[in-house]
Structure formats: structure tokens, C-alpha cells
């Protein structure tokens, strides 16, 4: 089968980024083996299964189930490039972080870690909503049930590989159909409502590309169920807004407490003051603070 080779920036750690992909055994949208990850994408009507592995200063994409069309090759190449955040020049952030008491030890330990993203905006928003007010393990359980029930799949080598359900498919549901998956009634309403916003064309990645952080947050927060945290999460993971910052995030607060040896978590005003130092790089400061908790 054919392959694609992507050149890596110097500031890229294969192990740190793949460690993130391994964080739950319940993950249903990719399968991580010892030194590669396998993922399924749909391009028009093509279901394409591919693996990503490390080369010498490169990522190598191998197509596993079919020889892709030229369009499909281009889509997969772009997807992987975005997935692993290869376009971001981290050097200015590292210069800042290495002089910062809060971040310098984390950056040294996890040098080359990037925002492993979710290029699909619908997936990013639904995942953020699924995780609201529950622990990460149960969020993965809900995601697994949701994807296996409503997503397309391909069987290959004795394994089932899934793609995330389409907004059009979920928009057709009644929220009560999600309750047997152990969705709360509120969460089911939010998920179907977000899907309907996409299906009706009220929101899309294309429409939001190029918007400022403030404009993009305003658009997302018009949709019921999307608050400041969820909007900022999607803007980090899908649009790579480097200044997206989930101010209210409990993980960020705990990481600051741990790194600075505080007796209690900082209040929001102190978090704001701390993050002023990272202006333009708030998303990456958040990323590394999260990483310090693992």
C-alpha cells in the first residue's frame, strides 16, 4: 500500500504525544500499538484505515485497507498534520517557559509535547460536553457507547475501527434515544442540539475559520450546552488558537497549586494574573499544566 511521509519539527516528542493517545483503554476512535497508531477516516464514501509511525525525523502514514484516491491522500495528510499540531512553532513558547518558575520544570520533562487535537469540530464539542461534570473514565465509557452505536465502522484484521458519528445522523435522534447509553437527560439534549446546529448549517468549522478568539467563542456559546470552558477547549483542540484558555479548569488550578507549593488552589483572579505572563501562549501553558498532573 502507498504511504505519506511528513517531516517533523525539531520540537516534537513521539513518545510524549503517543502517550496522550494511550491514556484510556476505552478509546474507540484510534488503536495504539507499541510504536504506531491506527485510525479510520471517511473521505466522501471511502473508508480509509491508516497507521502513523515514527520515522527518522518524520511521521510515516501507511494506508492499510485500500489505495487512496489523490483527494483522500490529501485529506489524510492534512488530518494527520493537524492531529499532531505540526504547524505550530513552539520555539517562542519554550523561550518563555524556560524562564518561568511555574512551567520550566514541566517543559524540560515533556519537551516536544504538542496539542494532540481533534480536527473535527463536531467531535471536539461533543467530547467536551460528554466530559462535563463526570470523571474521565466514565466520559470515555459514554464516548465508546455513543460511537459504537451511531458511528460507521470497518472490520480489518479481526478488529472493528470506528469513525465519529456524523452530525446529520445524530440530529435525527430524539434525546431520549441516548438515555439507554447512560447519558443524563440534559447531556442528551445538548448533544442532539449541537448536532442540529451543525446539520442546519448554523455552525461549522469552515464558517468559524479565521474568526478571532472572541468572535469564535461568541459563536459557539450561542449553542445551548456550550459554555466558556467547552468553547475554549474546542478552540484549543480544533482551531489551535494559542490564546484559548479555560480559566475555570480545575486541572489547571490543581497544577498551579502543586507546582507553586500552595496550601490551596488559586482563585480566578490569581489564575488570570499568572496567565498574563503567557499572553499569546495560554493554550500551551494550559497543555503543560495538564500534563504535569499525569
CB-CB neighbours of 69 under 10 Å: 13
Cα angle for residues 281, 283, 284 (degrees, 5° grid): 70
> Which of 85, 101, 249, 269 is labelled catalytic?
249
Active site residue 44: no
Indicate which residues carry an active-site annotation.
249
Amino acid at each position: 500500500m502507498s504511504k505519506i511521509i511528513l517531516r517533523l519539527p525539531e520540537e516534537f516528542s513521539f513518545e510524549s504525544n503517543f502517550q496522550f493517545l494511550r491514556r484510556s483503554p476505552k478509546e474507540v476512535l484510534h488503536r495504539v500499538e507499541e510504536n504506531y497508531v491506527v485510525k479510520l477516516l471517511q473521505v466522501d464514501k471511502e473508508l480509509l484505515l491508516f497507521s502513523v509511525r515514527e520515522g527518522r525525523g518524520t511521521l510515516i502514514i501507511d494506508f492499510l485497507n485500500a489505495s487512496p484516491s489523490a483527494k483522500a491522500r490529501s485529506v489524510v495528510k492534512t488530518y494527520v498534520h493537524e492531529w499532531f499540531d505540526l504547524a505550530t512553532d513552539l520555539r517562542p513558547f519554550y523561550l518563555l517557559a524556560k524562564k518561568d518558575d511555574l512551567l520550566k520544570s514541566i517543559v524540560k520533562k515533556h519537551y516536544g509535547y504538542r496539542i494532540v487535537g481533534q480536527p473535527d469540530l463536531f467531535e471536539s464539542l461533543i467530547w467536551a460536553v460528554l466530559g462535563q461534570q463526570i470523571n474521565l473514565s466514565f466520559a470515555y465509557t459514554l464516548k465508546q457507547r455513543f460511537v459504537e452505536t451511531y458511528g460507521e465502522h470497518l472490520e480489518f484484521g479481526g478488529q472493528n475501527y470506528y469513525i465519529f458519528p456524523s452530525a446529520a445522523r445524530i440530529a435525527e435522534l430524539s434525546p431520549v434515544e441516548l438515555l439507554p447509553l447512560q447519558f443524563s437527560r440534559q447531556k442528551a439534549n445538548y448533544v442532539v442540539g449541537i448536532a442540529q446546529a451543525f446539520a442546519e448549517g448554523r455552525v461549522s468549522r469552515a464558517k468559524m475559520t479565521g474568526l478571532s478568539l472572541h468572535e469564535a467563542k461568541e459563536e459557539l456559546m450561542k449553542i445551548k450546552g456550550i459554555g466558556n470552558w467547552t468553547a475554549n477547549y474546542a478552540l484549543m483542540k480544533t482551531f489551535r488558537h494559542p490564546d484559548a484558555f479555560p480559566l475555570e479548569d480545575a486541572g489547571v488550578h490543581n497544577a498551579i497549586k502543586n507546582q507553586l507549593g500552595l496550601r490551596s488552589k488559586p482563585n480566578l483572579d490569581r489564575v488570570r494574573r499568572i496567565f498574563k505572563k503567557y499572553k499569546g501562549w495560554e493554550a500551551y501553558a494550559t497543555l503543560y499544566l495538564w500534563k504535569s498532573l499525569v
